[in-house]
C-alpha cells in the first residue's frame, strides 16, 4: 500500500481564512497537536510576510521534533533568505517556493512572459537548495495553466533540485475528471518525474477539493496538501480529515493510506475551531456534530442490530469522545494536566498553574465539570497575551424598570481608572465603560456567546472579534457569570490588539 504524505497548511493557507489569524502561542499549540496527529510536513507560515509570521515559523521550528517544517517563499532571494533564517532551528526543514504559471497570472499579476517565469523558477529552486536539500516548488494556478508549459516547468525545477513539485488548483476551478487527466498527463510527459514527489493542493470553491485530491492520488500523486476542518483562503482547502478518512475507509479502492493517527482527528478539529473561532458546521463530514448521529427510526433500528448497516466508520476511530464527567473538586494538578494533554493542550507550568486555579474556583461554583468546561478555561489561558488592561472590579445593575448600568475599574500600567456607563443592556454598558477607559478605536465585528454545558450554573463562553486598522483579533472569556465572561473576552481582544500594535 502506498503511503501518501500529508502536508498540513492549516497554519499558513488555513490562517488566510478571513478572521482566522492566530498569535504565535496559538500557532504553537496547533503545531504541537499536528505533530501528535502525525502529519508529515507542517507549513508553519510565510516568514517574509510579517514579523509575526517569521517569529511563528521560528518558534515552531525550534519547539517541534519528528516532523518537517516548511516555510513559504515567493521566487525571490529575500523571501528564500527569510524562510531559511526562520527555519534554522528545525530538525528537518523545507523551503516551499511558489510562482504562478497560468497565462492569466503571468499577464496581469507578474507581468512576465513564460520564459522569464521559467528562469525565475529555476533560479529560485537552485538558490533555496543552498539552504536545504528539501525544496518544494508550487506552480501557482497550475490547473489554469497550459499543460505543456506546466510539463516544461515541472521538468526544469526537478532538474534544478526540487524534490517535490506541487500542482495547485489555486482557485478551485478544476473537476475530478479533468484534474485526474492533468496529473496523468504530467506523469506521461515529464521525463524526470520519478525524481520528485508530485503534490496536490486543492481549493474548495466548487466543493471539490477532497474529490480532486483523491483522483490525483489514484494517478500517482504522493503528497496531499490540506488543512484541519478544511479552513483556508475563500472557500478553504481540502479537508485533512475527509481526505484521510476516505483512504482509511476505502483501502482496497485507493490502495493508499497515510501516517495520520486518526484517533487525534477530532481533537485537532476542536482545537483549530476553538483557536480560530471558525465553527465546524454540524453536518460536516467526519468531525461535524451530526456526522455520526442516526436520526431516522429505520436507520436507528438497523444500526442497533448491526452498526455497519448505516455506519461506514466508527466515531472512536476519529477520536470522538462521549462527553463525560472528568474531574471534580478533589482532583489534583497531575490529573488535570493529563486531561489537558488528552485534549491536545500543552501549557507552560505558569499557565498550567493559572488554569488549575481557575479550575478549582469553578469546582467550588459548579457541581459537575465536563470536558467542555475545562476546554473553555484553558482557551482563556492559551489566548492570553501580555495584559496592558487588567480588570480590577466590575458591578452591574439592571432590571425591568431600570436602565442597565455598569461600573468598572480597570488597571492600565500602575494606575486604576474607573467609569460608570449606561447601555441598552448590561453587556452594552460594560463595553461602553471599557471603550471609554481604553479609548479604543476598534470595531466590534462579532460577539458570540454560548453556554458550554447544560444547567443554570453552566460556564458561559464569550468570543469577540475586533478590527482596527485592518488588524483582526479574537478574544475569549469564560465564567459562570456571563457578563463577566463578556468583559473578559473584550479585554482579551483589546490586549491582543495592543500586543499587535507593539
Ligand atoms: O493555492 C495556492 O496556489 C497556494 C500556493 C502558495 C501553493 O496556496
Ligand atoms: Zn492555497
Ligand with an atom nearest the CA of residue 100: 1
- Whole-Å CA distances, 1 to 4, 121, 183, 253, 257: 9, 33, 20, 11, 7
Looking at the chain, the whole-number percentage of residues with pLDDT higher than 90 is 70
When pLDDT is averaged across residues 151-165 and rounded to a whole number, the result is: 98
Q: Where are the alpha helices (DSSP H) in 366-395?
A: 371-382
Instruction: List, for residues 450-466, the tens digit of each pLDDT value.
Output: 877 667 777 888 989 99
- Residue owning the nearest CA to atom 8 of ligand 1: 13
Q: How far is the CA of 464 from the centre of ligand 1 (A)?
A: 30
Evaluate if residue 323 carries a pLDDT over 50: no
| Most ligand 1 atoms within 8 A of CB, residue of 101, 109, 138 to mutate | 138
**Burial (CB count <10 Å: 0-12, 13-18, 19+), residue 337:** middle
Only one residue has cell 466508527, namely 314
- Answer whether 0.85 is exceeded by the pTM: no
- Compute the distance from residue 446 Cα to the ligand 2 centre, in Å: 26
2-11, 12-21, 211-220, 234-243: which has the minimum mean pLDDT? 12-21
pLDDT in tens, 177-206: 999 999 999 999 999 999 999 999 999 999
What distance separates the 2 farthest-apart alpha carbons in the chain? Answer: 81
Residue with CA at minimum distance from ligand 1 atom 7: 138
Predicted confidence band of residue 299 (pLDDT cuts 50, 70, 90): confident
202 CA from centroid of ligand 2 (Å): 7
Domain map of the chain by residue range? Answer: 2-276, 293-381, 384-501
- pLDDT band at 439; cut points 50, 70, 90: very high
**Residue 303 clears pLDDT 80, i.e. is over it:** no
Helices (H), 16-131: 24-37, 51-63, 77-87, 103-105, 114-129
Query: How far apart are the CA of 177 and the centre of ligand 2, in A?
Result: 20
State which of 201, 225, 227, 233 you would mutate to test the pocket of ligand 1, scoring each by most atoms of that ligand within 8 A of its C-beta. Answer: 201
Is residue 324 over pLDDT 60?
no
Minimum-distance ligand 1 atom for the alpha carbon of 138: 7
C-alpha 72 – ligand 2 centre gap (Å): 11
The C-alpha cell at 357 is 486555579
Query: What would the grid cell of residue 463 be?
Result: 468570543
pLDDT at position 450 is: 81
Residue 471 per-residue DSSP state: E
Q: What angle do CA 24, 25, 30 make, to 5 degrees?
A: 95
Pair 135, 100: CB distance under 8 Å: no
Closest by CA to 20, choosing from 266, 281, 233, 269, is 233
So what CATH class is 2-276?
alpha beta
User: Assign residue 192 a region: left if phi > 0, alpha if psi is -120 to 50, beta otherwise?
Assistant: alpha
Assess if CATH 3.30.160.270 describes domain 384-501: yes
- pLDDT single digits (tens) 91-138: 999 999 999 999 999 999 999 999 999 999 999 999 999 999 999 999
Amino acid at each position: 500500500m502506498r503511503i501518501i504524505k500529508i502536508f498540513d497548511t492549516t497554519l499558513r493557507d488555513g490562517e488566510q481564512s478571513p478572521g482566522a489569524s492566530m498569535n504565535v502561542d496559538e500557532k504553537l499549540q496547533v503545531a504541537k497537536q499536528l505533530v501528535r496527529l502525525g502529519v508529515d510536513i507542517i507549513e508553519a507560515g510565510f516568514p517574509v510576510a510579517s514579523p509575526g509570521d517569521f517569529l511563528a515559523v521560528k518558534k515552531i521550528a525550534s519547539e517541534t521534533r519528528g516532523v518537517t517544517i516548511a516555510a513559504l517563499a515567493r521566487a525571490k532571494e529575500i523571501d528564500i533568505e527569510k524562510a531559511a533564517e526562520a527555519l534554522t532551528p528545525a530538525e528537518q526543514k523545507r523551503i516551499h517556493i511558489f510562482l504562478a504559471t497560468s497565462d492569466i497570472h503571468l499577464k496581469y499579476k507578474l507581468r512576465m512572459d513564460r520564459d522569464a517565469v521559467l528562469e525565475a523558477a529555476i533560479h529560485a529552486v537552485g538558490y533555496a537548495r543552498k539552504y536545504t536539500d528539501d525544496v518544494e516548488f508550487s506552480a501557482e494556478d497550475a490547473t489554469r495553466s497550459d499543460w505543456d508549459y506546466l510539463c516544461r516547468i515541472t521538468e526544469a525545477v526537478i532538474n534544478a533540485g526540487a524534490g517535490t513539485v506541487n500542482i495547485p488548483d489555486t482557485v478551485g476551478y478544476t473537476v475530478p475528471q479533468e484534474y485526474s487527466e492533468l496529473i496523468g498527463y504530467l506523469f506521461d510527459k515529464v521525463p524526470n518525474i520519478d525524481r520528485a514527489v508530485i503534490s496536490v493542493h486543492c481549493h474548495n470553491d466548487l466543493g471539490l477539493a477532497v474529490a480532486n485530491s483523491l483522483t490525483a492520488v489514484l494517478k500517482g500523486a504522493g503528497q496531499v496538501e490540506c488543512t484541519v476542518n478544511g479552513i483556508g483562503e475563500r472557500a478553504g482547502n481540502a479537508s485533512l480529515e475527509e481526505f484521510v478518512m476516505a483512504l482509511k475507509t476505502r483501502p482496497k479502492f485507493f490502495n493508499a493510506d497515510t501516517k495520520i493517527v486518526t484517533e487525534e482527528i477530532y481533537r485537532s478539529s476542536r482545537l483549530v475551531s476553538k483557536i480560530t473561532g471558525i465553527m465546524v458546521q454540524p453536518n460536516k463530514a467526519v468531525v461535524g456534530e451530526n456526522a455520526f448521529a442516526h436520526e431516522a427510526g429505520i436507520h436507528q433500528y438497523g444500526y442497533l442490530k448491526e452498526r455497519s448497516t448505516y455506519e461506514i466508520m466508527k466515531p472512536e476511530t476519529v477520536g470522538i469522545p462521549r462527553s463525560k464527567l472528568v474531574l471534580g473538586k478533589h482532583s489534583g494538578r497531575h490529573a488535570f494536566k493529563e486531561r489537558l494533554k488528552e485534549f491536545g493542550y500543552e501549557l507552560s507550568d505558569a499557565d498550567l498553574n493559572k488554569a488549575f486555579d481557575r479550575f478549582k474556583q469553578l469546582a467550588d461554583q459548579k457541581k459537575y465539570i465536563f470536558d467542555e468546561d475545562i476546554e473553555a478555561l484553558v482557551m482563556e489561558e492559551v489566548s492570553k497575551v501580555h495584559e496592558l488592561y487588567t480588570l480590577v472590579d466590575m458591578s452591574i445593575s439592571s432590571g425591568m424598570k431600570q436602565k442597565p448600568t455598569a461600573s468598572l475599574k480597570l488597571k492600565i500600567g500602575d494606575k486604576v481608572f474607573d467609569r460608570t456607563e449606561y447601555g441598552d443592556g448590561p453587556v452594552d454598558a460594560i463595553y461602553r465603560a471599557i471603550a471609554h477607559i481604553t479609548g479604543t478605536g476598534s470595531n466590534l465585528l462579532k460577539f458570540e456567546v454560548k453556554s458550554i454545558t447544560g444547567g443554570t450554573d453552566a460556564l458561559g463562553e464569550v468570543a469577540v472579534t475586533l478590527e482596527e486598522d485592518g488588524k483582526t483579533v479574537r478574544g475569549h472569556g469564560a465564567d459562570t457569570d456571563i457578563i463577566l465572561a463578556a468583559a473578559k473576552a473584550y479585554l482579551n481582544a483589546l490586549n491582543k490588539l495592543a500586543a499587535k500594535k507593539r
